[in-house]
Structure 1
Amino acid sequence: MRTVGSLLSRRVLIGTGLVLVMLLAGFVGWRLTGGGEYVAPTPTAAPVVRADTEAARASLEQLVTGVREGAAPDGEGAAAVAVRNAHAIGVEDVTATYVAESGNVAPDGSWTADVEMSWRTPGDPVLTEELKVGFDADGAITGFSASQGTRAPLWLSGPVEVRRTGSTLVVVQASADVADRYAELAATAVTEVRKVVDWDDPRLVLEVPANGLDTALGAQQGTYAAVAAVTATVDGSMKAGTPLHVWVNQDVIGDLDAPGAQVVITHEATHAATDAPTNTHRPMWLVEGFADYVALRDTALPLSKTAGQILAQVRENGPPEHLPGKAEFNTRSEHFGAEYEAAWLACEVLADAGGEQALVDLYEDTGRGIGLEKALQASFGFGEDELTARWRTHLSDSAR
């Protein structure tokens, strides 16, 4: 093998030498025949691709005009879909201001820009977000997405199905059948909530994105992965009186049966009816426990279904020492579901002790800023220590 390798090496070297000699001979001949000075060819520069910002601004103006006049462009492009969505939902007061390119223009001439957009859904304040808008080489809109930390509005996120009644508005990124299902859940939820609390002019808005809640709510990925639904202000603020919407996680609620899905929507409707997200006076266990009390009030489900997680914990470790606090309701908590069940059973204890109206009075009094201890004494004749003791006993008895 070594011998063969040496021969191959010599042949390569010899071949290389011959090529070199031939090149030198050619060069000398070129010089002798009067060739001019050798000049290396100038490299050809790649053409510069620029964003057609004027065409992009014209496309945004066409979008705004289309929403204002209810005239959608032809086709299934992003702008046409957005205009149809806006008309179905009733979106108004749309503006779109081109800010600047976001990143480089692609070789095919497409690019993404930051665009400040504002709009208003009937019953809501005007919302303003800086969104990412895609454009093709001709400046036509190719898509909308949220910037980091901003919310992606459903009407700009692809085709939606819209259902409305006098008290509900349901916007769903899914099939017509799925939209019908959520519309029925919303209507039933309004009826169930009004049996317990005063909701004179009900308005329940459900937004159901196709892929989870994180993008729709401008949250870090995974924040709401295990959450079936969230009630929040439309603008992300905590200002009292700000309109509330319910965002539904299809990835979670889609796996529930009809009674389970109804409990979720009625729970969130209770939050919406009582402005729970913007009221910081009530303890968290009362906020969540009361919402579950309303949602489970007319169900005949056994405790193994409605409180299975907390009862399993009680069997293993005994009852908790105190009512669940804010930290226990963290969406990433290991025992997230059990805390809701524990809070609901605390409200059940109160309703058994003083009746449903006493529980409603407690909820309303604490919402007005009356301290829990004082409100408990006024409605039930005992304080938080006695409530905790009764609740722990109820948990222990139920876990047997």
Structure 2
Amino acid sequence: MRTIGSLLSRPVLIGAALVLVMLLAGFVGWRLTGGGEYVAPTPTTAPVVRADTAGARASLEELVAGVREGAEPDGEDAASLALRNAHAIGIGEVTARYVAEAGNVDPDGSWTADVEMSWRTPGDPVLSEELKVGFGPEGEITGFSAAQGTRMPLWLSGPVEVRRTSSTLVVVQASAEQADRYGELATTAVAEVRKVVDWKNPRLVLEVPATGLDAALGAQQGTYSSVAAVTATVDGSTKTGTPLHVWVNQGVIGNLDAPGAQVVITHEAAHAATDAPTNPNRPMWLVEGFADYVALRDTKLPLSKTAGQILAQVRENGAPEHLPGKTEFNSRSEHFGAEYEAAWLACEVLAEAGGEKALVDLYEETGRGVPLEKALQASFGFGEDELTARWRTHLSDSAR
């Protein structure tokens, strides 16, 4: 006996058979009408864009030849700008070696490559850096930049103004008027330092980037954000005798009045004149205090201006127990600035006790490696404990 379920399922089975027959009939009909064999569509892909490395190398060779031969730049592109800067500064001995692409080539054919470059500023040794160089579709140079930890040379980072005298070279990324100002600051600084220090054949080089000092010095972002200027070797080494430049932070020094700006530049010039960054012998308070002594020597400003921060601390917490050391001279210190004032006042105490010549002798003797205690006794007749006591008394008296 058939069940109701089996009777109901029969029409469904018949219908499925009809659909299959119709599909087969359609397939046969398609074959008979000459539809041809079915071929799956081929996936489309974008054409591969390759870097024009031959064009890039040719552009680098053209830049090098232009510097060497004194070629006149004829445009406003990155290569012409670098060439113009090189001529103005006196850059020479330029080389450029294409290393490799640094990342993918963009759809328009532009890319960035690592390029090993070397050059020499007058009076300096040859410097080398592996820089990032941008190239266009035909290998033309579109820009220069530096990787983290690599110094970005000013002559490759944008238009510059140059001011020079027989004893100064000033390279500024700013207006002609501002370049004149920095040129005057440098010239005055040399004259002020030579009043105190026997600076034979002075040479003061100022580099003034458009935006801070971090890129120019290969430092992490924010390292020098609050520093007005810094004196350092041109190659980042600490080797004695390596030429020194002064890098100036426009964002900080631009907020100072004329006397304040002059104090900053003269302070750094004192470092340059005495090779302070490459001499590890002197205590930090003497290095910074002496530079401020030279910079403030002829100023008529009151202590409220020249030592306001340290005196405020003394009023609140009393005089420090010891002279400031390396830990205190930290650009990210909570009291950055007060340490310099404290060190300057220590040098003022010494100059008042034994005269300027005795202070200069102390600075020079410690620079030659004579221990501080021995040099103090020789120049002043007392040691570091007595100096600290006199300095603390001076701070307390001045803070009243």
Q: Deviations over 1:236-281 (max 9, x none)?
A: 0100000000000000000000000000000000000000000000
Matched residue, 2:8: none
Q: Distance in 2 between matches of 1:195 and 1:214?
A: 32
Q: Distance in 2 between matches of 1:228 and 1:356?
A: 27
Q: Distance in 2 between matches of 1:297 and 1:128?
A: 39
> How big is the shift at 1:37?
3.7
- Report the residue type matching 2:378 in the other structure: A
- Report the residue type matching 2:307 in the other structure: A
Say if 1:294 and 1:27 are closer, same or farther in 2 by CA, change over 3 A: farther
Unaligned runs of 5+ in 2: 1-21
Matched residue, 2:49: 49
Q: Deviations over 1:329-367 (max 9, x none)?
A: 011111110000000000000001111110000000000
Matched residue, 1:388: 388
Larger radius of gyration: 2
2:29 paired residue among 27, 32, 36: 32
- Report the residue type matching 1:99 in the other structure: V
Say if 1:296 and 1:27 are closer, same or farther in 2 by CA, change over 3 A: farther
Contact 1:86 1:155 in 2 (8 A): yes
Matched residue, 1:119: 119
Q: Distance in 2 between matches of 1:219 and 1:28?
A: 78
Q: How does 1:239-254 map to 2 (within 5 A)?
A: 239-254=239-254
> How big is the shift at 1:30?
6.3
Contact 1:94 1:118 in 2 (8 A): yes
Q: How does 1:304-383 map to 2 (within 5 A)?
A: 304-383=304-383
Matched residue, 2:18: none
Matched residue, 2:9: none
SS at match of 1:80: helix
Q: Deviations over 1:139-164 (max 9, x none)?
A: 00000111221100000001000000
Say if 1:108 and 1:297 are closer, same or farther in 2 by CA, change over 3 A: same
Matched residue, 1:173: 173
Q: Distance in 2 between matches of 1:73 and 1:26?
A: 76
Question: Could you tell me the TM-score, scaled by structure 1's length?
Answer: 0.92
Q: Distance in 2 between matches of 1:230 and 1:369?
A: 24
Contact 1:50 1:105 in 2 (8 A): yes
Q: Deviations over 1:83-131 (max 9, x none)?
A: 0100000001000000111001011100000000000011000001100
Matched residue, 1:16: none
Matched, 1:104 2:104: yes
Matched, 1:71 2:76: no
SS at match of 2:214: coil
Q: Distance in 2 between matches of 1:283 and 1:242?
A: 21
> How big is the shift at 1:172?
0.2
Contact 1:172 1:209 in 2 (8 A): yes
Matched residue, 1:237: 237
Contact 1:70 1:84 in 2 (8 A): no
Matched residue, 1:268: 268
Q: How does 1:16-31 map to 2 (within 5 A)?
A: 29=26
Matched residue, 1:290: 290
> How big is the shift at 1:28?
7.0
Q: Deviations over 1:23-55 (max 9, x none)?
A: xx9997465232334322101121001000000
Say if 1:186 and 1:39 are closer, same or farther in 2 by CA, change over 3 A: same
Q: Distance in 2 between matches of 1:60 and 1:255?
A: 40
Matched residue, 2:13: none
- Report the residue type matching 2:116 in the other structure: E
Q: How does 1:106-185 map to 2 (within 5 A)?
A: 106-185=106-185
Q: Distance in 2 between matches of 1:186 and 1:27?
A: 95
- What is the RMSD of the two structures over their aligned residues, measured on CA atoms? 1.5
Q: Distance in 2 between matches of 1:177 and 1:344?
A: 32
Matched, 1:86 2:83: no
SS at match of 1:98: strand
Q: Distance in 2 between matches of 1:82 and 1:320?
A: 50
Say if 1:143 and 1:28 are closer, same or farther in 2 by CA, change over 3 A: farther
> How big is the shift at 1:207?
0.2
Contact 1:288 1:340 in 2 (8 A): yes
Contact 1:133 1:145 in 2 (8 A): yes
Matched residue, 2:62: 62
Contact 1:185 1:262 in 2 (8 A): yes
- Report the residue type matching 2:201 in the other structure: D
> How big is the shift at 1:286?
0.2
Say if 1:31 and 1:67 are closer, same or farther in 2 by CA, change over 3 A: farther
Q: Distance in 1 between matches of 2:277 and 2:42?
A: 67
Q: Distance in 2 between matches of 1:51 and 1:119?
A: 26
Question: Could you tell me the TM-score, scaled by structure 2's length?
Answer: 0.92
Matched residue, 2:195: 195
Say if 1:38 and 1:225 are closer, same or farther in 2 by CA, change over 3 A: same
